[in-house]
Amino acid sequence: MTQSKREIERKYEPPSGGVAGLPDLTGVGPVASVTTAGPEELDAVYHDTEDLRLAGASATLRRRTGGPDAGWHLKLPLGGDTREEVWAPLSDEVPESLRELALSRTRGAELRPVVRIRSTRTVRQLRDAEGRVLAELSLDKVRADAAASGGGRAEWGELEVELAEGVHAGLLDAVEKKLRKRGIVRADSPSKLVRALRETGAGAGAEPERCPEVVAGSPGAYVLAYVREQAGRLVSLDPAVRGDLPDAVHRMRVTCRRLRGCLRSYRSVLDRRVTDPVRAELRWLAGELGVARDQEVLGERIGAALDRLPDELVLGPVAARLRVFEVSHGGEVRSRTREALATSRYLRLLDALDALVRQPPLRAGASRKPARTMAQAVLKEYGRLAGRMELALAQPAGRSRETALHEARKAAKKLRYAAEVARPALGKPVARLGERAKAVQLLLGEHQDAVVAQDTLRELAVAAHGAGESAFTWGLLHGLERAGAEARQRELPEVWRAAADPALRAPLGH
């Protein structure tokens, strides 16, 4: 059993006078009263890999006794002051549920104790006029010991301000303003663990390999920054996908595509002998994720179309049959996604992305002027899209054109992602071209969804007919999807003309 919550907190150097040195926060925003609790004795043993992969990813895993939330806590960064905290009951070993959620960061390496942190905590609770807790100020006296024999010891004081769930983050700013007036400033370390590792020496020797020097403002710098961002996003989305959170699969799949597109488009910057195998594995992962995502989109699309129909046009147990279809297919594809994330193949992909960022296989193009190297990459992707569009528009109506339009959609996506990578270097001109490519992609995506929906609606109609039910509604929905696909095809020439305007490419040298 696990429980999850969003944690929003900030850490400060403690006031010189201890609790007495804290300002009166009554009247700060909605704070109507302040109550004091404690002291509490907290004892936490932090676990990490030998090379501190969790700490390196700003994540923490601890087993803590004492206080109202004794148990295992896994904290994952969400950006800024916010983290996702997952709690599990006390046990002797790391709970399998938390081990799985940390897997994208540990990549299967053994977890072991690295530091023990004991705190004596005094808490002040900020309450509103109804007595509801808005935030807690925790003043800690901290004692840290390295877990390894012969390790060091450190002591310090720390002040934490943590919002209660559902409270607007603006209260943190108001409290901080009051604290600053008393000379209380932010702590240098983002967490107790980071400071403990540094001051006890438990983090010595775990520094990662340094990336070779890359010239600032070069194609190599821009491409590596994009790869690093997307690889980090892939890792951070892993727990959300495992938890079956809304839109998580879609976002991870798009991240795979962005990485694949970048590594393909910028082969003049990164050696394809290294990146092509990574691209192949990203394609595999996107394919595994795609089954779940396509099923989700399809079910939502058909359900929305059914909801729009007048009641008199819904004949038979249509909604029930759609639910059966979604449940029977949904369970299967979710299981497939979880199985993919549990494979050693997936972990090797994460290792390969990590190595790619740390030791990038730079080519000569990595140090050339970005205006030339990156513009050439973008224009090359435009040329591929133009060829696919010419082929698709020349096809007669039917399956051959639908297939060609789907290939053109994928080419538009590659151009869009190549433009994304180049935008920090080339600015508005490449951004405009990327936006036009996105418009083409979205239109063709809507067309493809309508094509796929037709096939599924025909299957549902056949199943309904075989069960002695009316197939009228399924046929009606099929006709609406077919009409929608034809409408998108009629809109396409105008959208493509806007994207193919030579004026968009002129600033890029073409």
Termini Cα distance of the chain: 59
Per-residue pLDDT, 99: 95
Q: What percentage of residues in the chain have a pLDDT greater than 90?
A: 77
Q: What is the pLDDT of residues 82-126, one digit of tens each?
A: 999 999 999 999 999 999 999 999 999 999 999 999 999 999 999
Pair (239, 291) in one structural domain: yes
Which of 200, 233, 266 represents a domain boundary (last residue)? 200
Domain count, the chain: 3
Pair (311, 412) in one structural domain: no
Phi-psi region of 161 (alpha: psi -120 to 50; beta: other; left: phi over 0): beta
Q: Is the pLDDT of residue 207 over 60?
A: no
Pair (454, 506) in one structural domain: yes
Average pLDDT for 399-414: 96
How many whole angstroms separate alpha carbon 392 and alpha carbon 403? 8
Burial class from Cβ neighbours inside 10 Å (0-12, 13-18, 19+) for residue 371 reads middle
Q: Is the pLDDT of residue 56 over 70?
A: yes
Pair (315, 344) in one structural domain: yes
The model's pTM:
0.88
- 197-206, 281-290, 334-343: least confident range: 197-206
Q: Is the pLDDT of residue 510 over 70?
A: no
Three-state secondary structure call for residue 20 = helix
Q: Is the pLDDT of residue 38 over 80?
A: no
Which of 169, 200, 231 represents a domain boundary (last residue)? 200
Could you tell me if residue 52 is inside a domain?
Answer: yes
Structure tokens of 471?
A: 């197939």
Pair (66, 194) in one structural domain: yes
How many whole angstroms separate alpha carbon 510 and alpha carbon 503? 9
Domain that holds residue 451: 369-510
Structure tokens of 348?
A: 């090797």
286-291 contacts, C-beta under 8 A, 24 or more apart: 286/253, 286/256, 286/257, 286/260, 288/336, 288/337, 288/340, 289/241, 289/249, 289/252, 289/253, 289/256, 289/337, 289/340, 290/253, 291/333, 291/336, 291/337
Three-state secondary structure call for residue 22 = coil
Mean residue pLDDT of the chain comes to 91
Burial class from Cβ neighbours inside 10 Å (0-12, 13-18, 19+) for residue 178 reads middle
Model confidence band, residue 285 (pLDDT cutoffs 50, 70, 90): very high
How many whole angstroms separate alpha carbon 61 and alpha carbon 55? 9
Please report how many Cα atoms fall inside a 13 Å half-sphere around the Cα of residue 176, on the Cβ side.
18
Pair (191, 246) in one structural domain: no
How many whole angstroms separate alpha carbon 52 and alpha carbon 302? 47
Could you tell me if residue 214 is inside a domain?
Answer: no
Per-residue pLDDT, 497: 96
Structure tokens of 285?
A: 């992962």
Could you tell me if residue 209 is inside a domain?
Answer: no
Could you tell me if residue 211 is inside a domain?
Answer: no
Per-residue pLDDT, 247: 85
Pair (353, 374) in one structural domain: no
Q: What is the pLDDT of residues 236-276, one digit of tens each?
A: 999 999 988 888 988 999 999 999 999 999 999 999 999 99
Pair (265, 187) in one structural domain: no
CA distances from residue 495 to 436, 445, 491 in whole angstroms, order as listed: 8, 13, 7
